[in-house]
Structure 1
Amino acid sequence: MKLATALSERADLQRRIISLRHRLNNNAKVQEGEQPAENPEELLKELDGCLIRLEELVARINKTNNATKSGELTITDMIAKRDSLKERIGIMRDFLDASSDKVSRYSKTEIKVCSTVNVAELQKELDSWSKKFRETDEKIQELNWLTELI
Protein backbone atom coordinates (compact mmCIF):
# COMPACT_ATOMS: atom_id res chain seq x y z
CA MET A 1 0.00 0.00 0.00
CA LYS A 2 1.27 3.47 -0.87
CA LEU A 3 1.69 6.04 1.89
CA ALA A 4 -0.89 8.32 0.22
CA THR A 5 -3.47 5.53 0.32
CA ALA A 6 -2.78 4.97 4.02
CA LEU A 7 -3.17 8.70 4.68
CA SER A 8 -6.50 8.68 2.86
CA GLU A 9 -7.68 5.68 4.85
CA ARG A 10 -6.55 7.36 8.08
CA ALA A 11 -8.60 10.46 7.27
CA ASP A 12 -11.63 8.29 6.49
CA LEU A 13 -11.23 6.41 9.78
CA GLN A 14 -10.98 9.66 11.70
CA ARG A 15 -14.24 10.86 10.13
CA ARG A 16 -15.94 7.52 10.92
CA ILE A 17 -14.76 7.67 14.54
CA ILE A 18 -16.22 11.17 14.92
CA SER A 19 -19.48 9.93 13.42
CA LEU A 20 -19.53 6.91 15.73
CA ARG A 21 -18.98 9.16 18.75
CA HIS A 22 -22.05 11.21 17.80
CA ARG A 23 -24.13 8.14 17.01
CA LEU A 24 -23.19 6.55 20.34
CA ASN A 25 -24.13 9.69 22.24
CA ASN A 26 -27.43 9.91 20.36
CA ASN A 27 -28.26 6.34 21.38
CA ALA A 28 -26.98 6.45 24.97
CA LYS A 29 -30.44 6.90 26.51
CA VAL A 30 -33.99 6.19 25.50
CA GLN A 31 -37.32 6.56 27.20
CA GLU A 32 -38.28 3.51 29.22
CA GLY A 33 -39.89 0.91 26.98
CA GLU A 34 -38.38 2.41 23.79
CA GLN A 35 -35.55 1.06 21.65
CA PRO A 36 -32.55 3.11 20.50
CA ALA A 37 -32.37 4.01 16.82
CA GLU A 38 -29.09 2.05 16.63
CA ASN A 39 -27.71 -0.72 18.82
CA PRO A 40 -24.97 0.85 20.99
CA GLU A 41 -23.22 -2.52 21.37
CA GLU A 42 -22.83 -2.80 17.60
CA LEU A 43 -21.64 0.79 17.41
CA LEU A 44 -19.06 0.08 20.14
CA LYS A 45 -17.81 -2.98 18.21
CA GLU A 46 -17.48 -0.86 15.07
CA LEU A 47 -15.70 1.86 17.05
CA ASP A 48 -13.28 -0.68 18.50
CA GLY A 49 -12.43 -1.98 15.03
CA CYS A 50 -11.90 1.54 13.69
CA LEU A 51 -9.65 2.51 16.60
CA ILE A 52 -7.54 -0.65 16.26
CA ARG A 53 -7.11 -0.01 12.52
CA LEU A 54 -6.35 3.68 13.11
CA GLU A 55 -3.69 2.84 15.69
CA GLU A 56 -2.05 0.41 13.26
CA LEU A 57 -2.14 2.88 10.38
CA VAL A 58 -0.79 5.79 12.43
CA ALA A 59 2.12 3.67 13.67
CA ARG A 60 2.97 2.52 10.14
CA ILE A 61 2.59 6.04 8.70
CA ASN A 62 4.88 7.45 11.39
CA LYS A 63 7.49 4.72 10.81
CA THR A 64 7.34 5.35 7.07
CA ASN A 65 7.62 9.14 7.51
CA ASN A 66 10.64 8.70 9.78
CA ALA A 67 12.38 6.25 7.46
CA THR A 68 11.74 7.97 4.11
CA LYS A 69 14.22 10.64 3.10
CA SER A 70 14.46 13.19 0.35
CA GLY A 71 18.00 14.48 0.44
CA GLU A 72 18.88 15.03 4.09
CA LEU A 73 15.29 15.45 5.30
CA THR A 74 12.80 12.78 6.30
CA ILE A 75 9.13 13.21 5.51
CA THR A 76 8.65 13.96 9.22
CA ASP A 77 11.18 16.81 8.94
CA MET A 78 9.42 18.15 5.86
CA ILE A 79 6.01 18.00 7.56
CA ALA A 80 7.40 19.98 10.50
CA LYS A 81 8.90 22.51 8.10
CA ARG A 82 5.64 22.79 6.15
CA ASP A 83 3.58 23.24 9.32
CA SER A 84 5.95 25.93 10.58
CA LEU A 85 5.83 27.74 7.24
CA LYS A 86 2.03 27.55 7.21
CA GLU A 87 1.85 29.14 10.66
CA ARG A 88 4.38 31.85 9.71
CA ILE A 89 2.49 32.64 6.51
CA GLY A 90 -0.84 32.92 8.33
CA ILE A 91 0.59 35.24 10.97
CA MET A 92 2.38 37.38 8.40
CA ARG A 93 -0.72 37.68 6.20
CA ASP A 94 -2.73 38.92 9.17
CA PHE A 95 0.05 41.32 10.15
CA LEU A 96 0.43 42.68 6.62
CA ASP A 97 -3.32 43.13 6.32
CA ALA A 98 -3.30 45.15 9.53
CA SER A 99 -0.18 47.08 8.47
CA SER A 100 -1.50 48.04 5.07
CA ASP A 101 -4.98 49.14 6.16
CA LYS A 102 -5.57 52.72 5.17
CA VAL A 103 -7.15 54.99 7.74
CA SER A 104 -9.24 57.72 6.19
CA ARG A 105 -8.74 61.22 7.49
CA TYR A 106 -11.47 63.79 7.08
CA SER A 107 -9.23 66.77 7.69
CA LYS A 108 -5.53 67.59 7.98
CA THR A 109 -5.94 68.16 11.71
CA GLU A 110 -6.75 64.51 12.39
CA ILE A 111 -3.95 62.20 13.55
CA LYS A 112 -2.18 60.44 10.72
CA VAL A 113 -1.74 56.69 11.18
CA CYS A 114 1.34 55.09 9.60
CA SER A 115 2.51 51.53 9.16
CA THR A 116 5.33 50.45 11.46
CA VAL A 117 6.97 48.27 8.80
CA ASN A 118 7.87 48.29 5.14
CA VAL A 119 4.83 46.42 3.80
CA ALA A 120 6.24 45.91 0.30
CA GLU A 121 9.44 44.35 1.65
CA LEU A 122 7.57 42.04 4.00
CA GLN A 123 5.19 41.06 1.19
CA LYS A 124 8.21 39.89 -0.83
CA GLU A 125 9.33 37.78 2.14
CA LEU A 126 5.82 36.38 2.46
CA ASP A 127 5.83 35.47 -1.23
CA SER A 128 9.15 33.67 -0.73
CA TRP A 129 7.80 31.73 2.28
CA SER A 130 4.68 30.86 0.30
CA LYS A 131 6.84 29.48 -2.50
CA LYS A 132 8.85 27.38 -0.01
CA PHE A 133 5.59 26.12 1.48
CA ARG A 134 4.27 25.07 -1.94
CA GLU A 135 7.53 23.36 -2.88
CA THR A 136 7.72 21.52 0.44
CA ASP A 137 4.09 20.44 0.24
CA GLU A 138 4.52 19.24 -3.36
CA LYS A 139 7.59 17.19 -2.37
CA ILE A 140 5.67 15.62 0.52
CA GLN A 141 2.75 14.78 -1.79
CA GLU A 142 5.13 13.29 -4.36
CA LEU A 143 6.77 11.10 -1.73
CA ASN A 144 3.36 10.06 -0.40
CA TRP A 145 2.45 8.63 -3.81
CA LEU A 146 5.85 7.01 -4.45
CA THR A 147 6.55 5.51 -1.04
CA GLU A 148 5.38 2.09 0.09
CA LEU A 149 3.99 1.95 3.61
CA ILE A 150 6.29 0.17 6.07
Structure 2
Amino acid sequence: MKLAEALILRSDYQKRVEHLKNRLFKNVRVQEGDQPDEDPAVMKAELTGLLEQLKLLIQNINKTNIHTKFDGNQTLADALVIRDVVGQERKIYSDLIEPATMRHDRYSRSEIKYVTTISVKETQKYIDELSKRYREMDVKIQELNWKTDLLE
Protein backbone atom coordinates (compact mmCIF):
# COMPACT_ATOMS: atom_id res chain seq x y z
CA MET A 1 0.00 0.00 0.00
CA LYS A 2 1.26 3.46 -0.86
CA LEU A 3 1.49 6.16 1.82
CA ALA A 4 -1.14 8.25 0.01
CA GLU A 5 -3.56 5.32 0.10
CA ALA A 6 -2.93 4.91 3.83
CA LEU A 7 -3.67 8.61 4.37
CA ILE A 8 -6.99 8.24 2.52
CA LEU A 9 -7.78 5.15 4.59
CA ARG A 10 -6.92 7.02 7.81
CA SER A 11 -9.38 9.76 6.87
CA ASP A 12 -12.04 7.14 6.15
CA TYR A 13 -11.42 5.43 9.50
CA GLN A 14 -11.64 8.77 11.32
CA LYS A 15 -14.99 9.54 9.66
CA ARG A 16 -16.28 6.07 10.50
CA VAL A 17 -15.20 6.45 14.15
CA GLU A 18 -17.05 9.77 14.37
CA HIS A 19 -20.15 8.24 12.74
CA LEU A 20 -20.09 5.26 15.13
CA LYS A 21 -19.65 7.58 18.09
CA ASN A 22 -22.72 9.58 17.06
CA ARG A 23 -24.78 6.41 16.57
CA LEU A 24 -23.65 5.12 19.94
CA PHE A 25 -24.64 8.38 21.65
CA LYS A 26 -28.12 8.17 20.09
CA ASN A 27 -28.65 4.63 21.38
CA VAL A 28 -27.08 4.76 24.81
CA ARG A 29 -30.22 6.04 26.52
CA VAL A 30 -33.85 5.19 25.76
CA GLN A 31 -37.16 5.64 27.47
CA GLU A 32 -37.98 2.95 29.99
CA GLY A 33 -39.62 0.01 28.25
CA ASP A 34 -38.22 0.90 24.81
CA GLN A 35 -35.39 -0.78 22.98
CA PRO A 36 -32.53 1.12 21.32
CA ASP A 37 -32.56 1.20 17.51
CA GLU A 38 -29.12 -0.46 17.52
CA ASP A 39 -27.36 -2.61 20.10
CA PRO A 40 -24.79 -0.44 21.91
CA ALA A 41 -22.68 -3.51 22.78
CA VAL A 42 -22.30 -4.38 19.09
CA MET A 43 -21.42 -0.79 18.22
CA LYS A 44 -18.90 -0.61 21.08
CA ALA A 45 -17.18 -3.75 19.82
CA GLU A 46 -17.11 -2.35 16.28
CA LEU A 47 -15.73 0.95 17.57
CA THR A 48 -13.00 -0.79 19.56
CA GLY A 49 -11.92 -2.80 16.52
CA LEU A 50 -11.96 0.24 14.27
CA LEU A 51 -9.92 2.29 16.74
CA GLU A 52 -7.35 -0.51 16.92
CA GLN A 53 -7.06 -0.53 13.11
CA LEU A 54 -6.75 3.27 13.12
CA LYS A 55 -4.02 3.14 15.77
CA LEU A 56 -1.96 0.65 13.78
CA LEU A 57 -2.43 2.61 10.56
CA ILE A 58 -1.37 5.89 12.19
CA GLN A 59 1.67 4.20 13.72
CA ASN A 60 2.69 2.91 10.28
CA ILE A 61 2.11 6.33 8.69
CA ASN A 62 4.25 7.98 11.36
CA LYS A 63 6.98 5.35 10.95
CA THR A 64 6.95 5.89 7.19
CA ASN A 65 7.09 9.69 7.56
CA ILE A 66 10.06 9.46 9.92
CA HIS A 67 12.04 7.06 7.72
CA THR A 68 11.28 8.61 4.32
CA LYS A 69 13.78 11.14 3.00
CA PHE A 70 12.20 14.32 1.67
CA ASP A 71 15.41 15.92 0.50
CA GLY A 72 19.06 15.68 1.49
CA ASN A 73 18.60 17.00 5.04
CA GLN A 74 14.96 16.43 5.91
CA THR A 75 12.58 13.56 6.43
CA LEU A 76 8.99 13.62 5.27
CA ALA A 77 7.96 14.21 8.90
CA ASP A 78 10.17 17.34 8.98
CA ALA A 79 8.66 18.57 5.71
CA LEU A 80 5.13 18.11 7.07
CA VAL A 81 5.95 20.21 10.12
CA ILE A 82 7.50 22.95 7.99
CA ARG A 83 4.52 22.96 5.60
CA ASP A 84 2.07 23.20 8.49
CA VAL A 85 3.96 26.08 10.12
CA VAL A 86 4.12 27.95 6.79
CA GLY A 87 0.36 27.42 6.45
CA GLN A 88 -0.24 28.67 9.97
CA GLU A 89 1.91 31.76 9.36
CA ARG A 90 0.06 32.43 6.10
CA LYS A 91 -3.29 32.21 7.91
CA ILE A 92 -2.18 34.61 10.63
CA TYR A 93 -1.04 37.23 8.12
CA SER A 94 -4.16 36.73 6.00
CA ASP A 95 -6.30 37.31 9.08
CA LEU A 96 -4.18 40.36 9.92
CA ILE A 97 -4.88 41.97 6.54
CA GLU A 98 -8.62 42.06 7.19
CA PRO A 99 -8.67 44.60 10.05
CA ALA A 100 -5.81 46.54 8.45
CA THR A 101 -7.88 47.19 5.32
CA MET A 102 -11.16 47.91 7.11
CA ARG A 103 -12.35 51.44 6.47
CA HIS A 104 -13.84 53.58 9.22
CA ASP A 105 -15.69 56.59 7.91
CA ARG A 106 -15.58 59.67 10.08
CA TYR A 107 -18.55 61.98 10.07
CA SER A 108 -16.92 64.85 11.93
CA ARG A 109 -13.42 65.99 12.81
CA SER A 110 -14.03 65.21 16.46
CA GLU A 111 -14.35 61.46 15.83
CA ILE A 112 -11.31 59.30 16.47
CA LYS A 113 -9.25 58.55 13.40
CA TYR A 114 -7.73 55.11 12.99
CA VAL A 115 -4.60 54.42 10.97
CA THR A 116 -3.10 51.19 9.76
CA THR A 117 0.23 50.37 11.39
CA ILE A 118 1.45 47.86 8.82
CA SER A 119 2.10 48.03 5.10
CA VAL A 120 -0.83 46.19 3.55
CA LYS A 121 0.96 45.91 0.22
CA GLU A 122 4.11 44.36 1.74
CA THR A 123 2.05 42.08 3.96
CA GLN A 124 0.01 40.88 1.00
CA LYS A 125 3.21 40.25 -0.94
CA TYR A 126 4.53 38.20 1.99
CA ILE A 127 1.26 36.22 2.13
CA ASP A 128 1.63 35.46 -1.58
CA GLU A 129 5.20 34.22 -0.99
CA LEU A 130 4.05 32.02 1.89
CA SER A 131 1.22 30.66 -0.26
CA LYS A 132 3.66 29.79 -3.02
CA ARG A 133 6.03 28.06 -0.55
CA TYR A 134 3.12 26.13 0.91
CA ARG A 135 1.83 25.01 -2.51
CA GLU A 136 5.28 23.97 -3.74
CA MET A 137 6.01 22.02 -0.59
CA ASP A 138 2.57 20.41 -0.60
CA VAL A 139 2.97 19.27 -4.21
CA LYS A 140 6.31 17.62 -3.38
CA ILE A 141 4.80 15.96 -0.31
CA GLN A 142 1.81 14.65 -2.28
CA GLU A 143 4.09 13.34 -5.01
CA LEU A 144 6.25 11.55 -2.45
CA ASN A 145 3.13 10.11 -0.76
CA TRP A 146 2.16 8.38 -4.01
CA LYS A 147 5.69 7.04 -4.60
CA THR A 148 6.36 5.79 -1.06
CA ASP A 149 5.36 2.36 0.21
CA LEU A 150 3.85 2.28 3.69
CA LEU A 151 6.20 0.75 6.27
CA GLU A 152 4.75 -1.79 8.66
The offset of 1:112, in angstroms, is 3.2
1:29-40 matched pairs, under 5 angstroms: 29-40=29-40
| Structure 2 unaligned regions, length at least 5 | none
Aligned residue identity for 2:83: R
- The structure-2 alpha-carbon separation of the partners of 1:109 and 1:29, relative to structure 1 and needing over 3 Å to count, comes to closer
Q: Give 2:118's aligned residue.
A: 117
Structure 1: tracts of 5 or more residues without a match = none
2: CA distance, partners of 1:102 / 1:30: 55
Q: 1:103 to 1:44 in 2, by over 3 A?
A: same
- TM-score norm. by structure 1 comes to 0.93
Counterpart of 2:134 in structure 1 is 133
Aligned to 2:148: 147
- 1:93 paired to 2:91: no
- Distance in structure 2 (CA, Å) of the matches to 1:131 and 1:35: 56
Q: 2: distance between equivalents of 1:110 and 1:33?
A: 68
Tell me how far 1:105 sits from its aligned partner.
2.6
Quote the residue 1:11 is aligned against: 11
**Which residue does the alignment assign to 1:55?**
55
Aligned length: 150
Deviation (angstroms), 1:22: 1.3
Q: Determine the C-alpha separation between the residues in 1 that align with 2:65 and 2:9.
A: 16
Matched to 2:3, the amino acid is L
Inter-partner Cα distance in structure 2 for 1:36 and 1:111:
62
Q: Tell me the equivalent position of 1:20.
A: 20
CA distance in 2, matches of 1:93, 1:29: 45
Alpha-carbon distance in structure 1 between the residues aligned to 2:50 and 2:112:
61
Letter in 2 for 1:135: E
CA RMSD of aligned residues (A): 1.4
Task: Classify the secondary structure of the residue corresponding to 1:102.
Answer: coil
Choose 59-68 or 79-88, whichever is displaced more. 79-88
SS of equivalent residue, structure 2 residue 54? helix
Distance across 1 between alignment mates of 2:89 and 2:97: 12
Q: Could you tell me how far apart the structure 1 residues matched to 2:35 and 2:114 are?
A: 66
Distance in 1, matches of 2:112 and 2:33, equals: 72
Q: CA deviation at 1:110?
A: 4.2
Residue of structure 1 equivalent to 2:74:
73
CA deviation after TM superposition for structure 1 residue 134, in Å: 0.7
What percentage of aligned pairs have identical amino acids? 45
